A and B are shown apart, each in its own frame.
Chain A
Amino acid sequence: MIEISNLTKKFDQFTAIDDLSFNVKEGEVLGFLGPNGAGKSTTMKVITGFLSASTGTAIIDGFDISKNPIQAKQLIGYLPEGAPCYGDMTTLGFLNFVAQIRGYRGKEISSRVQHVVEQVQLQSVCQQTIDTLSKGFKRRVGLAQAIMHDPKVLILDEPTDGLDPNQKYHVRELIKNLSQDKIVIISTHILEEVTAVCTRAIIIAEGRIVADGTPAELEAQSKYHHAVSVKLTDSYDLAADLAGIPEIGDVEQDSEEELRYTILASQSKPIFTQVSEIAQSRHWPVTEFHVNRGELEDVFRMVTQQAQGEA
């Protein structure tokens, strides 16, 4: 378990993290979200022991990162932002180095390196110098390094940044396969990634937590949660038919597609049945009809802008 309590990090006058507290349990994949400069990377740097906190503690499985840094770091696999690696080494040379630092000796080194090379599919570039690799391969070398010792805690700072869709898919599958009994924290700007791999998401802004929950719970905060989206073939006054039903709120017309409307739920309860009954009885000229789950992007904008407004 990771226990973060009252973590604060100040740089001179600037407060990057402001009294952050949260716990992460085994088996959780935590998505760490927030606008640029919100303190995501700084938080990760403090948890991994690269930076020391101004106040507060980060405890990794009972080891305080500032008091027992070596023991805590042994539990952590970390992919720093931009996946830095020693560019003048070969992939194999670099991974051998990390394996040795991670405590593998003799034959274990090559068998362990071979294992991670297969896991992230680096077989084709083993003998190449890291500087000559493409961005996707470099990122995978960084991942290989992070999972070398099968760490209990995996902290990945923007693991899929700059990868093509196939590579992104692959990295996400890898994270999902890893995460059974581990703690995974990933930071990302890509919200679809959260729904794809995370079991929990924390949104931070201005160094503070502004939302914390499962992706579904966060989506439920969106005003589009339970909303019904319809596309018509002809213009029709939907609002008139729906007026007077308390569960149904506003009807929004799409700004790009004239005949697409979104019917909002006013009491965050499902309105699909009511709307479909009315649509049938009034013979709406409908070609598409579906329920929105709510958009994480909406919630993200809402909570982060609120936080920025307060600050």
Chain B
Amino acid sequence: MGNLGIIFKRELLGYFATPLAYIFIVIFLITNGIFTFDMGGFYLRGQADLLPFFSFHPWLYLFMVPAIAMTLWADERKTGTIELLLTLPIKLSDAVLGKFLAAWALTGIALLLTFPIWMTVNYLGDPDNGVIVAAYIGSWFMAGGFLAIGSCMSACTKNSVIAFILTVSICFLFVIMGSPILLDAFPKWVPQILVDAFSAMGFLTHFDSIAKGVLDIRDILFFTVFIAAWLLASAIVIEMKKAN
């Protein structure tokens, strides 16, 4: 196991050493249930799919994911352990990636634990399970996008509450970027190509089709590049702000 693996394991076990992981998973499952069955009209639609379940995920992640991401680096800075970690013989990339992957794994575990909803829909009807698997993968990648923003914001400050608020704000921006309300607000003189570029950065633009079961490689690529870019930014911020 390389250093990346060792850091990943420490971080992931760290989540389960405190109540954080359990609280996160329980709240995630409860809110998912409420959104899907109550507000999403899962039964009323009378269709054997998980569209109501997945279409709420961007909004659920908007508050849940920053809560995990906020401590990633802010706490290291606050307690001074960042000095310990970064004077160990490891690469900064191992630390950034290891922490990110551990948090991402936690959201993955929470997502997997929603399997009773999948069982329900299979019991009640005959859904296209390929579509559901694709949507799960897409949802997980979107969570990764939120987390990567959170990693960078957490690196900016010692205060995890500030990191949380910053992350929610920026994530919100990326969620609504592709929404028609925002796109219609552009004045007529703005060239269409700019509007399209803006819309292409939005999470909803990419996630809507994924939720419907169209797992386009370009959407996954978008989230992968998005994650890589924010993690790179995290590393740069950490390097720059180490001194204070």
Contact = CB atoms under 8 A, between A and B. Distances in A.
B87 A73 contact: yes
A285 interface: no
Contacts of B80: 80-82, 84
B88 A85 contact: no
B120 interface: no
Contacts of B209: none
Contacts of B87: 48-50, 73, 76, 78, 80
Contacts of B83: 45, 50, 80, 84
**Chain A interface size range:** 20 to 34
A145 B81 CA distance: 12
Given A45-B83, A48-B87, A76-B87, A101 B14 contact: no
B79 A73 contact: no
Nearest to B3: A101
Contact of B79 (A69, A84, A145): A84
A88 interface: yes
B90 interface: yes
Interface string B1-45: 101001100100110011000000000000000000000000000
A85 B6 contact: no
Contact of B84 (A71, A76, A80): A80
B242 A98 contact: no
A102 B89 contact: yes
B89 A73 contact: yes
Contacts of A213: none
Interface in B70-91: 79-81, 83-84, 86-91
Contacts of B194: none
Given A11-B243, A84-B79, A87-B79, A101 B84 contact: no
Interface in A89-142: 89, 93, 97-98, 100-102
B243 A88 contact: no
Contact of B88 (A71, A81, A98): A98
Contacts of B17: 88-89, 93
A146 to B, nearest CB: 9
A100 B79 contact: no
A239 interface: no
Given A84-B79, A100-B1, A89 B88 contact: no
A282 B7 CA distance: 76
A86 B3 CA distance: 17
Between A71, A84, A85, A102, the greatest number of chain B beta carbons within 10 A of the residue's beta carbon is seen for A84
A51 interface: yes
A100 B14 contact: no
A281 B157 CA distance: 74
Contacts of B13: 93
A70 interface: yes
A238 B3 CA distance: 71
Contacts of B3: 101
A55 interface: no
Contacts of A87: 79
12 contacts: A50-B83, A51-B242, A70-B89, A70-B91, A80-B80, A82-B80, A84-B81, A84-B83, A87-B79, A89-B17, A101-B90, A102-B88
Given A51-B242, A80-B80, A87-B79, 11 more contacts: A45-B83, A70-B90, A70-B91, A78-B87, A80-B84, A80-B87, A84-B79, A84-B84, A85-B84, A88-B17, A102-B88
